[in-house]
Chains A and B, each alone.
Chain A
Amino acid sequence: MIERIGLRWRLVGLLAAVLVIVALPYVVTRSSVEDALNSRDWVTHTADVKASVYRLDAILRSGEAATYALVSGAEDTPEIDERVRYPRETVPGILASLRVMLHDNADQLTRLAAIDAIASGRMALAGQAIERLKAGDRQGALASMQDAQRMFPMRAKVKELLDEESQLLNLRREQAQSLASNNRLVLLVAALAQIALLGIVVMVSERQIAIRLAAESRVAEAVVRSQLIVQAVREPIALLDGDLRTLLVNTAFAELYGFDPDDGGNRRLDEIGHGAWSDTALLQRLTDVVARDRELWDYELTQRTVDGVDRFVVINARRIQQPDSVSPALLLTVSDITARALVEQKVTELNRQLEGKVEQVSDVNRELEAFSYSVSHDLRAPLRHISGFATKLESHLGDRADDRVRHYVDVIGSSSRRMAQLIDDLLVFSRLGRGALRLQPVDMQSLVEEARSLAEPDVGQRHVDWRIAPLPIVVGDENMLRTVWQNLIGNAVKYTARRERASIEVGVDRTAVGDYEFYVRDNGAGFDMQYASKLFGVFQRLHRASEFPGNGIGLANVRRIIARHGGRTWAEGEIDQGAIFHFSLPASDLPAARTGDA
């Protein structure tokens, strides 16, 4: 827009310059011509004045000469008489015409008046001479003539007037010449300016032409490029006219509907692709698009294309104005979403299956909950009864019960207790997986100290070399993490039972991503790495209960708790060399955790 305005002002400026440069010489030439005409008039004027003055002088002289002749005794002829009369008849007319000619010059008029007076005086004296001659006074007549010569000298005044007139003429000529030379200069400058203007015009035109050519070539390149793009694009594209006849199709379109892309013009859409476009509803919609400028968005359609495949396609169409025509065209794109549709179908199917599975899982979970509750409540009662009634049996037998009976009752009792313990452990394990995590900042150092003092009674008389590194505050469920430390430290104490000098080391490492990796290392019984995978299983044991008591739930609890915190558990060991148990906790932001807790 701004560029256009600039262009307009430039044009106006150029026009003004052209006008000035072309008009100025005209004006100058015209004034020169006028000046030339004026100076010719002046020359004529001067010549006229001179002629009149000379004529006046000649007439006067001729009259006086005739009078002199008469005075000298010449015969009075009609010719002489005519010459004597002639000045009186003509001089006033000549003077009058001279006054008209000199009316704009006061000095010359003054001089003319003097000449007038002289002429009048001389003519009066000539008249007096004729009168005296007629009276026979020849001497008197001669004196009158001589008086005229003496009293009214004419030549000097005439010369003065003529000189003045010549001078004026010269002055005017000089002025005219100076003006003409100025005009020549102006004309020269104007001519130069015209040449320069012509040069500029030629240059500007050259440049405009070059720019235009460059623009045209750019446009041509852009057209070629967009054609290449349209042709290369994988999505089928077609340009249709108002009657849904093809104006242009790209290669993908032609290939999909089975015709030669170079011969894609002027085909009716519904005759393309062996009925792929015979859907009347779609054709109506497309007609609406081009006729009423309604857009067609994501119209889904199944088409059997030329390769015999049923394809899910999405049609998009919009009206576009063709640059070279008044009638609008229709841009049609076809997106083949067959693969996507199949995937979507698959996803829907999988989702349905997954929902079924989730349902199953929640069913299972509900059953499991009911099961654990039932275990918790119902399984313990019979155990209590078994041991209770065994005891009652023993007391009932009284003295009749021998050692063997008492041993049996003991076994029944201890087995019941053991089973009750297993049930309790299993319930704890199950609860660890189900209950909500109560996240809060947890001081690992104090949990380790607590676990250590809890395990101290099992140390007995042995010496344990405790090495506990400074431990961080982490975010987690305090009760669960307490269980972790009690299990790991309890195990370390338990499995170093046969060492006179036990060594238990607790520490932490930090990974590159900020995760904590805690470990408990002991120099106890260790284990065979071959069975490392069983360590963390429920009720899995690598040692006999007679060697080391326990039911194999502790490490399973540890693994479950750490997994629920998003961490990992692993162990390394060697028989009789000791073991090292690791667990990791993901890096967590304490303030964020506090917020989450609140």
Chain B
Amino acid sequence: MNKRDLRTILLVEDSLADAEMAIDALREAKLANPVVHVEDGVECLDWLHRRGRFAGRAEDEPAVILLDIKMPRMDGLEVLQELRSEEKWKRLPVVILSSSREESDLARSWNLGVNAYVLKPVDVDQFFKAVQTLGHFWAVLNQRPDGE
């Protein structure tokens, strides 16, 4: 297993319950990748830029960001917009994982260049399955050029 396979899965989620279920699901998926949970958009950018309380972390590009939309301080769409405006993060895989099936949210996400938009299923089995599928796909199956 090389270094690239062990890239972090960054989970941006303000709901601790959702985060716990997602982390459970990923753990059950037996993925080797570390899972990092941050609670809003500001923390997400702090983590990416290794600043604030993440200033000392080791350099690491996440395999995928699982991004909630509705969050305090800075919501998911703002994060997405910020990332897509920076050369460094332009091609970073971002998956929106949201309860919103509002047409406006979908349209804005895709216009901002999201890689996937997944609706959080209410059914717990489906939720687990969805998160595990995402983790497996982005952390294991998906290939990216070196140096990114």
B18 touches A384 (CB 8 A): yes
A residues less than 8 Å from B15 (CB atoms): 381, 385
**Does A188 lie at the interface of the complex (its beta carbon under 8 Å from any beta carbon of B)?**
no
Most chain A Cβ neighbours within 10 Å, of B69, B100, B124 = B124
Chain B residues near A377: list those with CB within 8 A: 69-70, 98-100, 102
A380 close to B (CB within 8 Å): yes
Contact A384 B101 (CB under 8 A): no
Confirm or deny: A287 has a beta carbon within 8 angstroms of a beta carbon on chain B.
no
Interface membership of B120, Cβ < 8 A: yes
State how many angstroms separate the Cβ of B22 from the closest Cβ of chain A.
10
Q: Which of A346-404 contact B (CB under 8 A)?
A: 373, 376-378, 380-381, 383-385, 387-392
Q: Is the CB of B123 within 8 A of A417?
A: yes
Contacts of A587 in B (CB 8 A): none
Chain B: interface secondary structure?
A: loop
Q: How large is the interface on A (under 10, 10 to 19, 20 to 34, 35 or more residues)?
A: 20 to 34
Give the chain A neighbours of B122 by CB distance below 8 A: 380, 383-384, 387, 416-417, 420
Known: A390-B124, A420-B122. 20 other contacts (CB 8 A): A373-B100, A377-B70, A377-B102, A380-B99, A380-B122, A381-B18, A381-B120, A384-B17, A384-B99, A384-B121, A384-B122, A384-B124, A384-B127, A388-B17, A389-B17, A391-B124, A391-B125, A416-B123, A417-B123, A431-B103
Q: Which residues of B sit under 8 angstroms from A417, Cβ to Cβ?
A: 122-123
Asked whether A381 and B17 contact (CB < 8 A) given A376-B102, A435-B103, the answer is: yes
The chain A residue with its CB closest to the CB of B25 is A388
CB nearest neighbor in B for A389: B17
On whether the beta carbons of B18 and A387 are closer than 8 Å, the reply is no
Taking CB atoms, residues of chain B closer than 8 Å to A384 are: 17-18, 21, 99, 120-124, 127
Report yes or no: B17 in contact with A427, Cβ–Cβ below 8 A.
no
Q: Which residues of A contact B (CB under 8 A)?
A: 373, 376-378, 380-381, 383-385, 387-392, 413, 416-417, 420, 424, 427, 431, 435
The one of B24, B99, B101 in contact with A381, judged by C-beta atoms closer than 8 angstroms, is: B99
In the complex, what residue of chain B is closest to A380 when comparing beta carbons?
Answer: B99
Q: Which residues of A contact B17 (CB under 8 A)?
A: 381, 384-385, 388-389
Give the complex CA separation of A373 and B127 in angstroms.
Answer: 21
Residue numbers in B under 8 Å from A388 (CB-CB): 17, 21, 124, 127
Q: Are B100 and A413 in contact (CB under 8 A)?
A: no
How far apart sit A340 and B47, CA to CA, in the bound complex (Å)? 71
